[in-house]
Structure 1
Amino acid sequence: MRFYDPNGLRYGIPTYPFRLAPDGLATRRQLRARGLRPGGQEVAAQILWCSRRYRAGLRVAYLYRLDLAMPVRPMTPAKWAALAKANTARRTCPECGRDVGCTISTSLGMCVACADAPALAA
């Protein structure tokens, strides 16, 4: 197998092909689904696979040990307030000051009504 290197001799860390990682290891996304986080531990292994979707063609997913993972820190009221404030800022048009109800497109930099206003006036 091309990416099977459990001793880490070829790639520097233990490497496994897609879907063949041993039990006891998980990606960040898998840890989060279990309510865990890496907690400062080093990468224990990696998964390598080829993908036609990406220009480089080679994808990697880092694996962390489940026994060293720590619980996710809970959101505090201050964090919830900061998140709400940031989301409100992303929905507020800088031209007219209205909350448009969805995130403003970064390519326009303003709400659709303000972006279309010069075209309608002409």
Structure 2
Amino acid sequence: MSHPRFWDLDGTRYGIPTYPYHLAPDGLATRRQLRARGLRPGGQPVAAQILWRSRRTRGVRAAYLYCISLALPVRPMTPAKWAALERALAARRRCPCCRRDAGYTVPTSLGTCLTCAKSPVLAA
């Protein structure tokens, strides 16, 4: 159900044009929708927003919209960026306790690999 309080086409109530969920006009897209098209906002300001009531957060959520016509293509990954990403992912796989590559991302809830977490020496 659409909430009338989220209709603010001229931006007088919320400061920018505001639409209810699923009712944004054509020509506007969220960051995720731009990325799916191979685009990025490219420094443009937020053109509008979508507001909706969320049962999960029990409040109002927002998604910012950008003009598709002003969006720029996504910059390609350079070899240096690929290498940095690979190093970051490798660091997430390395256990800080045994210093081995776990072969999976070490759970932040445990802080160590599963083998070290089950070890009776470390449990104390």
Code of the aligned partner of 2:18 = T
When the two structures are aligned, how many residues end up with a matched partner?
121
Paired residue for 2:38? 35
State, as a whole percentage, how many aligned pairs show the same letter. Answer: 73
Which of 7, 18, 39 is equivalent to 1:15?
Answer: 18
Q: Which moved more, 1:61-70 or 1:90-99?
A: 90-99
Q: Is the contact made by 2:117 and 2:123 (CA closer than 8 Å) also made in structure 1? A: no
CA distance in 2, matches of 1:92, 1:104: 7
SS in 2 for 1:2: helix
1:100 Cα deviation after fit: 1.0
CA distance in 2, matches of 1:99, 1:16: 48
1:2 Cα deviation after fit: 2.0
Change (3 A) 1:121 1:7: closer
1:93-117 deviation line (CA, Å, top 9, x unaligned)? 1111211111001121111111111
CA distance in 2, matches of 1:22, 1:9: 18
Which of 89, 92, 96 is equivalent to 1:90?
Answer: 92
CA distance in 2, matches of 1:58, 1:86: 34
Q: TM-score, normalised by structure 1?
A: 0.93
Change (3 A) 1:89 1:11: same
SS in 2 for 1:13: coil
- Structure 2: where are the runs of 5+ without partners? none
- Determine if the alignment matches structure 1 residue 51 to structure 2 residue 54: yes
Q: Is the contact made by 2:95 and 2:102 (CA closer than 8 Å) also made in structure 1? A: yes
Q: 4+ residue runs of structure 1 moved beyond 4 angstroms?
A: 119-122
- Determine if the alignment matches structure 1 residue 116 to structure 2 residue 91: no
SS in 1 for 2:91: helix
Q: TM-score, normalised by structure 2?
A: 0.92
Structure 1 vs Structure 2 CA RMSD: 1.7
